Amino acid sequence: MARVDFYVLTHTAAEDRNRYACTLAGKAWHEGHRVYIHASSLAEAEAMDQLLWTFKDIAFLPHELVRGHEEQDVPILVGCGEHAPQAPDLMINLSHPVPAFVSRFSRIIELVDEDSAARERARDRYRCYREQGHTLHNHTIDSGHG
């Protein structure tokens, strides 16, 4: 079973959630993980792809947008849909509901922003992970300071 970390971001909106996803992807990559950012749509995946290029002026995160089933030798992949690449061991999930392929990852990150509808969907995903037997952890990130 996977370790699932829910990061509850206080004082944030959805766009801040995506910037935090970039930060966590970079941290995971520097720790030796292969990362897959799972978006809810192609438009969201493309937006994340662009954000990974621009979210920090002095940092570069090697990444690529997944466009098919071919395997890509890139540390950070961004995609959507019903299939995930085989190589990554960590998934940052930005979609709802929980993807069917979560069992292939040893670590899953869920980001929850201030939106009440987003929080309710996150509760649904939390219940799903718990029912599947994953190890759950919660973190509150006060993004309104610092």
**Could you read off the pLDDT of 30-70 as tens digits, one per residue?**
999 999 999 999 999 999 999 999 888 777 789 999 976 66
d(CA 5, CA 16): 18
Cis amide bond preceding 99, omega within 30:
no
Calpha distance 99→80 (Å, rounded): 10
pLDDT tens readout for residues 85-132 = 888 999 999 999 999 999 999 999 999 988 899 899 999 999 999 999
| Residue written as token pair 């995946």 | 45
| pLDDT for 70 | 62
Order of strands across the sheet with 63-65? 63-65, 76-79, 35-38, 90-93, 107-112, 3-10, 135-142
How are beta strands 63-65 and 3-10 bridged, if at all?
Answer: unpaired
Q: In whole angstroms, what is the distance from residue 27 CA to residue 17 CA?
A: 15
Pairwise CA distance, residues 63 & 80, whole Å: 15
d(CA 80, CA 93): 10
- How far is residue 99's CA from residue 128's CA, in Å, rounded to a whole number? 10
pLDDT for the residue numbered 146: 42
**pTM for the whole structure:** 0.92
Backbone angles phi, psi at 4, to 5 degrees: -115, 120
Q: How far apart are CA 55 and CA 114, in angstroms?
A: 21
pLDDT of residue 69: 63
Q: By C-alpha distance, which of 17, 25, 56 is closest to 141? A: 17
